[in-house]
Amino acid sequence: MNNYLIVGLGNPGTEYAGTRHNIGFDVVDAFAAKHGFGFRTERLGEIATGKLKGRSVICLKPGTYMNLSGKAIKYWRDKEQIQNGNILVILDELALPAEKLRLRMSGSSGGHNGLKSIEETLETTEYPRLRFGIGNQYPKGMQVEYVLGRWTETEIPLIKKKVIVATELIETYIFQGIAAAMNQYNKLSITL
């Protein structure tokens, strides 16, 4: 089946906009905008749909808050009859430096609450995920503030460039498959 669900993880609300934790929303926004898909509020989140070279693509920004992301993903997966291998989840990753993207076919939550929710709700770890490195340049004990903080002026140019690269990665995943996208993008170091 040629149906894809592209999910950006984040938290709804203006207070979270532009934070490191919401980079999944930012990537999905950029991907949807590039292809002329407009978002609308639907059940459990914001949805943008369209066709790309005969493939149906649904972009989802869950409205359930990060810790309940799985609920929205399960609803749209079941409604649209999308295979787990055609769900791509985009999330922030502290363990990766800011110049890195890492695409995997499956894996553990790595302590990420959004992935934990998806794992519990879908009852599997077998779905693709794109980890967007946000670095870990924060003082001890300040992880939450860092993750929920906004990008600094010096970080913004690199992050904007990396969002563009991430949209290209999503296209490669849809048109050429996950193995091709992993080979092309996992080794990249994105610099200005």
Query: What pLDDT was estimated at residue 137?
Result: 87
Cα end-to-end span (Å), the chain = 38
pLDDT in tens, 96-118: 999 999 999 999 999 899 999 99
Q: The whole model's pTM is what?
A: 0.96
Burial class (CB in 10 A: 0-12, 13-18, 19+), 51: exposed
Length of the chain: 192
Catalytic residue annotation: 21
Contact of 79 with 136, CB cutoff 8 Å: no
CA nearest neighbour of 131 among 98, 173, 164, 85: 98
Query: What pLDDT was estimated at residue 1?
Result: 62
CA distance 166 to 163: 5
Q: Which domains does the chain have, with CATH numbers?
A: 3-185 (3.40.50.1470)
- Regions of the chain short of the pLDDT cut 50: none
Query: What pLDDT was estimated at residue 73?
Result: 98
Contact of 132 with 101, CB cutoff 8 Å: yes
